[in-house]
Structure 1
Amino acid sequence: MKWKFALTTAISATLVAAPAIAQTSRDSSGTSTETAADGDIGVTDIVVTAQRRSENIQDVPIAISAFSADQLRTAGISSALDLGQLVPNLIAQNNTGLGSANAYYLRGLGNTESLATFDPPVGTYVDDVFLSRQSANNLALFDVERVEVLRGPQGTLFGRNTTGGAINVILRKPGKEFGGYLEGGYGAYNRKLFRGSVDLPVNDSFQVKVSGYWQDDDGYTINNITRQRLNDDDGFGARVGLYGELSPNVRWNASYAFIQADGENILNFDCDPSNPANCNGRFSATGLSEVPGAANFAGLGVRGRKANFGLGNKSATNLVTSNLEFDVARDTTLSLITGFVNQTQQFAIDFFDGRSGPTVAVPNPPIRGFARGGFTILTDARSDQFTQEVKLNGKLGDNRIDYVAGFYYLKEENRTDFADVFGGSLLLGDRVLNNNTEAFAGYVQADLNITDKLKLTAGVRYTDETKTLSLIDQRAMCAVATPPASCLFDPNFFVPANGTTVPTRVAIPLRLRTGQTTPRFAINYKVNDDILLYASATRGFKSGGWNARGTAPSGVLPFTPETIWSYEGGIKSEFFNRKLRANITVYHADVSDLQTPAGIINPTTGVLSFVTRNFADYKNTGVEAEFTLVPTRGLNLYVNVGYQNDHYSINNRAPAFDQFGVQSVAGQLADCRRQLAAGQVPVTPNTAPAGTPANNAPACGVGIVTAQGTIATPVRTPDFTIAVGGSYDAPIGRYSLTPSVNASYHTDQEVQTANLSLRAGSITGPNGTFPSNPNSGALLLGSFSQAAWVVNAGLALNAPNKLWQLSVQCTNCFDEAFTQSALSNTTYLNPPRMWTIRGRVNF
């Protein structure tokens, strides 16, 4: 029984746990070193930069989860995606189709779109440099000092697009002494990996670090149509880090990194679609081949390099970071933080597994093996981003005031050449999208130290942002002197008058500008050296944009910025001579104009379309508790628990249609209920003969309206998330053996906006009876994701002083399969069980 398995896992996991968090300190060169407290018995500290200055994590009045490099390695965390296994109320997954793109949902705020007109609400930062795009944010954590997960919003100090929070990756600085490590491994699905790093000190004041990784595997999915293996996770990366003391008052920390990822999250099933009795593995039935040019998309009129793409996804990132620090006074430091990010992405992904989309009439569409896929998106994208920040940290009034202030500039240019192909033969769209962003911001935050125990914090940021959009339609029908109004050219961007929902022609703006003020207020009281109480109120915003996946101008509609006020209260505490750390936060998030992406199937044609709108406001109230226990030397335990209670809030007095003719959610809800009362059935092709009632209920099961005529449950917000585990360093003579277990659990959740699932059991409509239904019965496929435990475990043999290490690790050790996401009733599963044997040498 599943409850027995869950209970057994939870109990066993509490007996061994993750390593204690390491304290990060700096020597005169700025090199990171780890120290322990209380004779190596007790919870140690970590210094974080959540407030843009170095502070002990226990002194920061913000909910933060921070992990050292050692902790990440022991827990089997090798990529940013895996952070979701450790952080309460964080759901992390690969985007549908794309192994290089992570969709984070933190406290219910997230976005599954990777197109450049959409911005993620959980920002990713590397050494204080923001990564705007979500297309290649699944970073390989191969040369990091630590990772911080900050709950949102972080709008005052980190800026726009952090309504959900921020993933802050801090890279390891070069060391003053020659040294490094080499690591190699082999694992499931013929996985091979190599990692290494070496510190090369030039002299006492200048050091260099060179590091890199390479990995390759065959893929865990068997394609019985093309006889290829899919969903591999290949890639490589290299980094050169520099650190120099240019003078007694000037320091420079810089790096260049190149990362290439070749990984997919292609639709697959735990039973073979061509032989349902075979459930030993993961299977796909797409006819789209990985061989470049095999699909002959050019034969459909697709233009550009993408016409020759084979099934797969490749991304490449060039990342340059530079932080030049000046001590301009005794207590004042000026930082010039410069970043350049170049990202490219090329993919051809079949989202319908070589067939049509499921409906209640055909819940399991027959295998078609379309050589061009069932619904395929081809993309050839490039993004260039430049950021410059000037930051001042200092103290005033005889240390009564600690402040950080600065100016921030961002310039981003994106070019996306993409096409949509349906049913292997219908070219829905082929266009080049150019969109740019320019943003300026100024910020200041100050702490007033009223007493040694009481501190008040106030800060504010003002952001001025301008976005522009331009499209070129590459379809043959548009290559004429006077293109039809349905072609995607700038002069065609208007919604034509129809006399009802749009009385007069309305222009669709191709330029969006916003100015946003995001303040923060906080109070914290230090009861004693071991207990901190705090409360805060913070505002943030996420940029607006366009629904640029539309195939006609009237579908490329803008959506407005998303704003949030978040209220937190918490305690950070340590007990029993620092053997127990307990950090607990209570929060309430109030979001206005939530940006919500939805995939909608046209009930007549079966064609998939993507829509993002400000469907509703959003409320989320929750608790996050993180406990770390070190009862004796070498034994480290942790339990992290998150709870959230959230819902959408719609405007029942909104106009029936907005200025672009889009129906309000309240109007759609009323229409859905009328259709259901008339006996119409959602998710049904409209096959009714002329003059008879329609079979389908088109207002139901789309947007945030469910097939049952209710407002949907927000996605990826399980009531509870639990992470529990640990490790024990068992001495064996001069050696040590370290077993570790890390288990994560989430309760039931929905993963598709309209909560649409297909279930066993017939349903009857005006024109017939259908073999499945969206209401009750055994789950077939769709949005509902059942509660699940995922258990990772490892065993490491360490040489004296850890000069070398041999280890074996498994992820998802019990091969638990659950729904991570859904797209128009197709169901995307989490990765299966994997194992890896590693050898590491430190020198």
Structure 2
Amino acid sequence: MFSKPSQAHGQTPRRHKNAKMLRCASLAVLIVASAYSDARAEEPTADAADVIVVTAERRNARLVETPITITALTSDQLRKTGVDNLMDLGPVVPGLRMDKLGPAAQPTIRGITSNTSGPGSASNVAVYVDNSYIASQGANNFEIPDVTGIQVLKGPQGTLFGRNATGGAILVTTMKPSREIQANITAGLGTYGERLMKGYVTGGLTDKLSAMFSGSYRYTDGYTKNIVTGSETDGKYRGVNATGKLLYTTENDDTYLLTFVYSNTNDAAALTYRISPKYGSRSLGLFLPDQVVAQSPHQSSVGYKPRSNSEFYRGSFNAKVNLGDFATLTSYTSYFNEKFVEHGDLDGTVVPIFDIYFPVLDENYSQEFNLISKSGGALKWSTGVYYFHDSSSLPEMFINYDFNTNLYNNGVKTDAYAVFADATYDITPALHLTLGYRYSIETKKLRAIIPVAARGKHTWRKGTPRAVLRYDFDRNTNVYASFSRGFKSGNYNLSAVDQPPVSPETLDAYEVGFKHQGPAFDFSASTYYYDYSNLQVESFVLLPGNTALSTLLQNAARARIYGAEASATVHLADGLSAQLTGAYTHGRYRRYPGAISFQENPAGVAYLNVPVDASHNRMIRSPDFTGNAAINYERPVSFGTIRLGGNISYSSAVYFDAANQFKQRGFALLGLSAEWTSKDEHFSFLAIGRNVTDKKYVNYVNPITLGILDNDAPPATARITITYRY
């Protein structure tokens, strides 16, 4: 019923057409760059207060001269748009989706994503907090009470950030302890029973030792009503974060930072399902007699409240030592321990047909050393070594409570080693060449008891180069062309350990970009082309004989992605600015003959797994177009400062499966904010509204053989906060 016929033989090949489109788009960027150079060559440099510094190349650099497509968000921007959690980033960053599969956070950048979860699995977008890699997908759904900025790096970052940065990287930077006494506390109330409190306090203990403590608590009742039990708190959220830091600074500015983080997040909305009214006509729950089944938005009909909980401890020690005029040596040491639990109803009814509970235990540690040259001279370079060890296990799994219990005790251990170097040479004062290379070795060991006793070991090796040529028209205007490679290692499927491990993913990326920063107008644009091979895709399947559900982890052969994006910020008048960004992504599977589709079972209810050819279909979670328009106004008044803001984000249609059966149509979201700050800047009141027009849409469609399930996105919400600063 839902299968899509494969492309007819003899159709005109797309390779030459796509290459031609990329060349034309690249030429357009160059023409814009040349025109800009002629028109703005005498424009004064941007004021130092407006300069944004990023660390995308492992060293501090101005955003405008970093040859990577980056969205950099300050703490002020995050606060005004209501970004409390990493999962809130999607509407404010074009080309980025922040999806969840149960407790697993799965970002998508330019069509590059992952739908695999569980022990040993990792996102295709690497997340770093203060240079510590957060490997667990469950732990990437966390509160950020003391954030100073977030950088979203688009495109593979395999040379500088290594493993599993195929689609890009998200770099979160938090506050460091200060010698001066500072304090900030925020309290707020919102719709659906939301309660919020967060803040920090920092100060010097001695002339060289500073300390800081930050914390946050956020709770909502949830926006889903259970039509069976009458509960209005299905899908509740509770997030707790506590962080302590000690910073020691020597007389020659060497620094030693010790950090400890505790986080506990229960985001039950990620496991709150209803049977899809559009696709779920053969779902088993609809054929059970005398059952009340929810199919309307923000309703459920399960017999218990879902749970999706991640609790982790993270400790890190960062040291920076100045080696005179030669270089700076940095050391990043990190330890991480997490337990996340998924307890969900995958049939949508109160009957225990397919209620699943499983915990995942994860422990890892990493060590990285970087040697970075001091600025000055024609050659700037960085080099480093990296080690990562992870032990992740699925100790047990319960289906329908005690009715069908499997004691798994399955696990996978990972050891990853890498060495890298990256250097930029100024061929002339205006022409710069960057070359980089990383060599990675990753070994995974499988240990399993259920469903079959199994052991395995596999090692993958990969080199990920990087090359960039950048030309500066002036200090604030440049054009660049780059090649980079991303690598995601192979993995075992702990739900079906008799399957062989999947092969690593590899992505080769070509990009041409243009950047300009000025006092009245900022503009950047880029075009790109990706050649993507061995995509790792996971699907629910019915085992032979229709005896039980399992998962199939497979490689989806090849994909091709190309697109363009642009961002412009205009300072229209004193205190008034506007920003417009847009991203076009053409992501298609080039060859995927064994994709899983769900067909109606003619012999009864539920669905059959039918292989289809998904070649030339749209890639999952890859909308063709995303955009964002924002306007901000700030005006001093006699009693303080008034700030008003509005933000509209748009996404075109997105598919949730490779067979292109299940999708969400295009939609737009409106966000509004209003803030008053006192003249002494000690107090401020902020009101935020998100999804103001109450757009009904789904986060994702979860297809399993017993039913097709919808997970709803949040409705319209509002919040008011008061902040005190010292």
| Contact 1:207 1:244 (8 Å CA) reproduced | yes
Structure 2 unaligned regions, length at least 5: 1-42, 278-285
1:77 equivalent to 2:80? Answer no
The correspondence of residues 125-274 of structure 1 with structure 2, limited to 5 A, is 125-228=128-231, 229-264=233-268, 265-268=270-273
User: CA 1:40 to 1:840, structure 2 compared with 1: closer, same or farther past 3 Å?
Assistant: farther
1:545 alignment partner, SS class: coil
Q: Which has the larger radius of gyration?
A: 1
1:58 alignment partner, SS class: helix
1:685 equivalent to 2:601? Answer yes
1:49 equivalent to 2:49? Answer no
1:557 equivalent to 2:500? Answer yes
The correspondence of residues 384-533 of structure 1 with structure 2, limited to 5 A, is 384-395=363-374, 399-419=377-397, 421=399, 427=404, 429-473=406-450, 487-490=451-454, 510-533=456-479
For residues 784 and 646 of structure 1, the distance between their equivalents in structure 2, rounded to whole angstroms, comes to: 15
Structure 1 unaligned regions, length at least 5: 1-36, 291-310, 355-368, 474-486, 491-508, 651-664, 673-680, 689-693, 757-782
Aligned counterpart, 1:504: none
1:828 equivalent to 2:711? Answer yes
1:73 alignment partner, SS class: helix
User: CA 1:784 to 1:456, structure 2 compared with 1: closer, same or farther past 3 Å?
Assistant: same
TM value normalised by structure 2: 0.87
For residues 419 and 754 of structure 1, the distance between their equivalents in structure 2, rounded to whole angstroms, comes to: 29
Shift of residue 733, structure 1, vs aligned partner: 1.4
| Contact 2:219 2:238 (8 Å CA) reproduced | yes
**Matched letter for residue 414 of structure 1:** S
For residues 198 and 696 of structure 1, the distance between their equivalents in structure 2, rounded to whole angstroms, comes to: 56
**Matched letter for residue 488 of structure 1:** V
**Matched letter for residue 812 of structure 1:** N
1:752 equivalent to 2:657? Answer yes
| Contact 1:442 1:462 (8 Å CA) reproduced | yes
| Contact 1:86 1:640 (8 Å CA) reproduced | no
Aligned counterpart, 2:334: 339
**Matched letter for residue 255 of structure 1:** T
Aligned counterpart, 2:7: none
For residues 255 and 409 of structure 1, the distance between their equivalents in structure 2, rounded to whole angstroms, comes to: 20
For residues 72 and 249 of structure 1, the distance between their equivalents in structure 2, rounded to whole angstroms, comes to: 30
For residues 808 and 615 of structure 1, the distance between their equivalents in structure 2, rounded to whole angstroms, comes to: 46
Shift of residue 604, structure 1, vs aligned partner: 7.2
2:122 alignment partner, SS class: coil
User: CA 1:450 to 1:608, structure 2 compared with 1: closer, same or farther past 3 Å?
Assistant: same
| Contact 1:648 1:711 (8 Å CA) reproduced | yes
Shift of residue 112, structure 1, vs aligned partner: 2.6
**Matched letter for residue 514 of structure 2:** I
Shift of residue 523, structure 1, vs aligned partner: 0.7
1:647 alignment partner, SS class: strand
Shift of residue 636, structure 1, vs aligned partner: 2.3
Shift of residue 249, structure 1, vs aligned partner: 4.8
1:85 alignment partner, SS class: helix
Aligned counterpart, 1:789: 668
2:679 to 773, 786, 800: 800
Shift of residue 428, structure 1, vs aligned partner: 7.4
Q: Which moved more, 1:597-606 or 1:556-565?
A: 597-606
1:731 alignment partner, SS class: strand
Which digits, 9 at most, give the CA deviation of each residue in 1:537-587, with x for residues without a partner? 01120010012222xx53x33101001111111001134xx2110011111
Aligned counterpart, 2:517: 574
**Matched letter for residue 752 of structure 1:** D
Cα RMSD over matched residues?
A: 2.8
1:615 to 552, 556, 570: 556
Which digits, 9 at most, give the CA deviation of each residue in 1:751-770, with x for residues without a partner? 123222xxxxxxxxxxxxxx
Aligned counterpart, 1:380: 359
Shift of residue 217, structure 1, vs aligned partner: 2.1
| Contact 1:267 1:351 (8 Å CA) reproduced | no
Shift of residue 39, structure 1, vs aligned partner: 13
For residues 726 and 42 of structure 1, the distance between their equivalents in structure 2, rounded to whole angstroms, comes to: 23
| Contact 1:120 1:161 (8 Å CA) reproduced | yes
| Contact 1:548 1:557 (8 Å CA) reproduced | no
Provide the identity percentage.
25
How many aligned residue pairs are there? 666
For residues 192 and 506 of structure 2, the distance between their equivalents in structure 1, rounded to whole angstroms, comes to: 44
| Contact 1:42 1:579 (8 Å CA) reproduced | no
User: CA 1:390 to 1:732, structure 2 compared with 1: closer, same or farther past 3 Å?
Assistant: same
2:89 alignment partner, SS class: helix
Which digits, 9 at most, give the CA deviation of each residue in 1:575-624, with x for residues without a partner? 4xx21100111111111111122233569749543222112211100111
Shift of residue 717, structure 1, vs aligned partner: 1.0
1:189 alignment partner, SS class: coil
For residues 253 and 99 of structure 2, the distance between their equivalents in structure 1, rounded to whole angstroms, comes to: 43
**Matched letter for residue 214 of structure 1:** Y
**Matched letter for residue 357 of structure 2:** L
2:94 to 83, 88, 101: 88
Which digits, 9 at most, give the CA deviation of each residue in 1:684-716, with x for residues without a partner? 22529xxxxx99875356xxx46xxx6532111
